[in-house]
Structure 1
Amino acid sequence: MGIQDILEGKKQWRAHMARVKALPPDYQIAYKEIQKYFFKVGPVDLPDGTLLSGIVDFFEEGVAADKGVLELIGNDVAAFCDDLVKDSRTYADIYQESVSRKPGTAGK
């Protein structure tokens, strides 16, 4: 990864976060909780994918339709997140696999 890639990534992230900051406060709180959840146990391809920007798109549509954030995601943020990544490999899956291996079988 070159310096140009890093700079471009930062530029994209700042633009993404500007979109988040333009959302109403309750949407921003929900987004930050979703982001925190995904950064802990989320999909392995999170940095390469469009999941977070897709959530912002979804939230912007909700704002335009004059819906509350809980109408969109429900009361359980974790359940909402789990449903989004149910078919994706997550860091939690990798950890579970590592502790499930028999001793002495690492890398096999």
Structure 2
Amino acid sequence: MNFFEKITGSDMTKKMKSFEARASNLPPEYQAAWEEIKRNLWLHADFTGRNLMPILNSALELLEVTSADGQSVEEVLGNDIKGFCAALVGDEGAKNYRDKWREQLNKNVLKKLGGL
């Protein structure tokens, strides 16, 4: 990855387009699960989202393999896709970007108020 790709995020755009092309080959119920997985995983992204690329790739590979085996989405992911995504990123209590920003904002406000 060169400097221009890192600054503009074009490398991530290419990866996401390739993920979407692969996901379009999945059965409809798997495509719906993929959309829900993406929605839930982006909550745990850092500012750029680069930390999620390997996780998204692994989740998509899981969907591809299990759909080829003829398993249903419920057999693979269960009924709790949000819980599945939390397990992928670490833990149910994993901090997302909102938590990090809230914590930083609270620190800055406390600092401006003189440490009250």
TM-score range, shorter chain: 0.7 to 0.9
Q: Are positions 1:43 and 2:45 aligned together?
A: yes
More helix by share: 2
**Structure 1 residues 16-95: aligned runs within 5 Å:** 16-39=19-42, 41-44=43-46, 46-48=49-51, 49-86=53-90, 90-95=96-101
8 A contact 2:12–2:50 mirrored in 1: no
**TM-score, normalising length from structure 2?**
0.71
Q: Report which stretch shifted further, 70-79 or 11-20.
A: 11-20
User: What residue is the counterpart of 1:104 in the other structure?
Assistant: 110
Higher relative contact order (CA 8 A, sep 6+): 1
Report how many residues are paired: 105
Distance in 2 (CA, whole Å) between partners of 1:103 and 1:81 is 32
Q: CA deviation at 1:68?
A: 0.5
For structure 1, the residue ranges without an aligned partner over 5 or more in a row are none
Structure whose alpha-carbon radius of gyration is higher: 2
Q: Sequence identity of aligned pairs in percent?
A: 26
Distance in 2 (CA, whole Å) between partners of 1:80 and 1:6 is 27
Instruction: From the superposition, tell whether residues 74 and 95 of structure 1 become closer, same or farther in structure 2 (CA, over 3 Å).
Output: farther
Q: CA deviation at 1:19?
A: 0.2
Distance in 1 (CA, whole Å) between partners of 2:105 and 2:82 is 23
Q: CA deviation at 1:99?
A: 6.5
